[in-house]
Amino acid sequence: MGSALHGGANRCMIQRAAACRGANGGLLRHGLIRVLALFILLLSTGSPSRAATAAAKPARPLGPYTSARSCGTCHDAIHKSWADSPHARAATNPAYLEALRRIVESTAEGKAAREACVWCHSPSTILTGDLEMQQAISREGITCDFCHTVAEVDLQKVPPFDLKPGQVKRGPFEYAGRIQGHATAYSPLHKSSPLLCASCHEYKNANGVLVLSNYSEWKEGPYPARGVSCQDCHMSLVPGTAARNSPSKAGLRVINLHRLVGGSAISQLARGLDLKIESAVSEGGSAEVIVVVTNAAAGHFVPGGLATKSLVLAVGAETADGKLEYRQERVYRRELKDEKGVVLESVADQFLKAASIGSDSRIGPMESRRERFTVPVPTGARAIVARLEYRDGSDIRNAAPTTSLITETRHPLAAR
């Protein structure tokens, strides 16, 4: 079960629930989704005054991990950005908690199912064992100190992380030795390795079905050869400093965006997709319309992630009063089916019951789709309108999927 969705610009939280049957019938942990945040703290601080040092001194952690709030005493800009991210809410989002409840109750092996979910949404529990998320650090979701003490990732291991909690914090830039508060280490994994993301955003269930395939889609696409990784799009560099009073010799005045804008965020979809009306020829009360949709910037198929999400191309005629009439749609989505061939609509069913991939009409990296429509044109119609919409059925608390407008374009019609 991936991170649950949330509102605003970051509607990208994926909900995941995974349970994998082993040779003895028990749920294996192999391949369990591990939602790993890409929190790249640019580890650098200066030498604050004694008063500032006393005020900013992190509290001693009770367990292996330091709280995000403690990190934020120095890394305030990064903490503020992370606190507004899907990863910060991964363990407390109501949609996720409801999905977790249903997942655990749907199987006789509830503890293993809970572990599968919680290890993703609160990966500090891998070491703390706090699967009920009673500890404050667990409720921080994918928190700073977990990510910045991951030394390596091996997708063949369970769990896939080489965890080294302690005073050495790993990040994408090189700093010399120990700085105020902790030591630092340069980490190529954090700088650009897709494995940091693949450990969570790739999942094959017990039936061998890729329920999540973002990593495979990226790997098989054009971007690896161009040196473009997950972090380039989802943790882009923005103006800022890693910490208060960062040493000038570091020469860095940029930080990675820790808001972790995901593939379900409308702003991210708008940036990655191009929409144009190639032609619209009116004749005899209708218009022959050709619309082109291009996945211009997403490194994976669109929509990515869960099969509960669809990209919808809607085309129609805009009337004099601004209404869209004679709406027609093309829907781009992936279908997962159970062993009886029934399309699975809920997150829980997709992870637990998917036995095959039915169809996949999503748009691949750098791919264009050229769609034709015949649209009736009523008297007084002002334009042919094409819209791209994002339809998301991941939140099982909703009676119907939510729909959001990504972008639209129009072709004016001559007055009739």
Domain membership of residue 11 (yes or no) is: no
Q: Please give the pLDDT value at position 175.
A: 66
Query: Quick one: pLDDT band at residue 116, thresholds 50, 70, 90?
Result: confident
Evaluate if residue 334 carries a pLDDT over 90: yes
Same domain for 196 and 275, yes or no, is no
Give per-residue pLDDT as tens, 72-93: 999 999 999 999 999 999 999 9
Same domain for 247 and 294, yes or no, is no
Query: Quick one: pLDDT band at residue 247, thresholds 50, 70, 90?
Result: low
Q: Please give the pLDDT value at position 177.
A: 54
On whether the CB atoms of residues 81 and 182 are closer than 8 A, the answer is no
Domain membership of residue 290 (yes or no) is: yes
Same domain for 64 and 108, yes or no, is yes
- The conformation of residue 343, written as its DSSP 8-state character, comes to B
Q: Considering 223, 256, 289, which residue would you say is the last residue of a domain?
A: 256
Evaluate if residue 34 carries a pLDDT over 60: no
Q: Please give the pLDDT value at position 169.
A: 93
Range of the domain at 202: 20-256
Q: Please give the pLDDT value at position 51.
A: 34
Domain membership of residue 276 (yes or no) is: yes
Mean pLDDT of 199-209: 86
Query: Quick one: pLDDT band at residue 206, thresholds 50, 70, 90?
Result: confident
- What is the average pLDDT value for the chain, to the nearest integer? 83
Rounded Cα–Cα distance for residues 15 and 200 (Å): 11
Q: Considering 231, 256, 281, which residue would you say is the last residue of a domain?
A: 256
Evaluate if residue 200 carries a pLDDT over 90: no
Domain membership of residue 283 (yes or no) is: yes
Same domain for 53 and 133, yes or no, is yes
Beta strands, E only, 130-229: 150-153, 161-163, 168-171, 178-179, 182-186, 202-204, 210-213
Q: Please give the pLDDT value at position 56.
A: 43
Same domain for 189 and 58, yes or no, is yes
Mean pLDDT of 135-156: 94
Rounded Cα–Cα distance for residues 319 and 241 (Å): 51
Q: Please give the pLDDT value at position 408.
A: 97
Overall number of domains in the chain: 2
Domain membership of residue 6 (yes or no) is: no
Same domain for 331 and 228, yes or no, is no
Same domain for 212 and 310, yes or no, is no
Q: Output the CA–CA distances (angstroms, integers) from residue 69 to 121, 249, 411, in the order listed.
A: 18, 27, 51
Query: Quick one: pLDDT band at residue 228, thresholds 50, 70, 90?
Result: very high
**Two structure tokens written together for 155:** 């997708």
Q: Please give the pLDDT value at position 84.
A: 93
Stretch among 17-21, 66-70, 252-256 having the lowest mean pLDDT: 17-21
- The conformation of residue 363, written as its DSSP 8-state character, comes to B
Rounded Cα–Cα distance for residues 28 and 397 (Å): 28
Give per-residue pLDDT as tens, 285-331: 999 999 999 999 999 999 999 999 999 999 999 999 999 999 999 99
Same domain for 300 and 221, yes or no, is no
